[in-house]
Amino acid sequence: MHETATSVRSRRGNGCRPAWGSFIVEADRRRGKFTRCKIKTKKEDGDAVNIVAGCASDIMLSNVQFSLKMLEPNKVSRIFPGIEGMTISYYRCPI
């Protein structure tokens, strides 16, 4: 995963436009529409990166665990631990 700021958004149809589930990754932070997270740990495991982040929303604080796997240069898949087969694909868009 790159250390520079990048916008990662789920794609609906053609083009890159904000969608539910879009987020921005910057070095040790992840920002979404409703949450802001600080990455506490990340560990590479083959072609995936396992991440634990402390996240805050207007309602609560929580620790979140997820994995990201690069599928193509501009496509990443979010893997949900403990839910086999549950993945969401995102596409990198210019900021």
- C-alpha R_g of the chain: 13
What are the pLDDT digits (tens) for 1-19?
444 455 555 554 445 655 5
- Please check whether residue 37 is in contact with residue 29, taking contact to mean a CB–CB distance below 8 angstroms: yes
Q: Are 38 and 31 in contact (CB under 8 A)?
A: no
Residue 3 is given by DSSP the state S
CA angle 11, 60, 40 (to 5 degrees): 70
> Is the model's pTM score more than 0.75?
no
Query: Would 55 be classed as within a structural domain?
Result: yes
Please give the Cα distance from 51 to 23 (Å, whole number): 15
Tally of structural domains, the chain: 1
Which residue range is the domain that position 23 belongs to? 6-93
Residue 1 covered by a domain: no
Domain CATH for 17: 2.40.128
Task: Please write the tens of the pLDDT for every residue from 56-65.
Answer: 988 889 888 8
58 in any annotated domain = yes
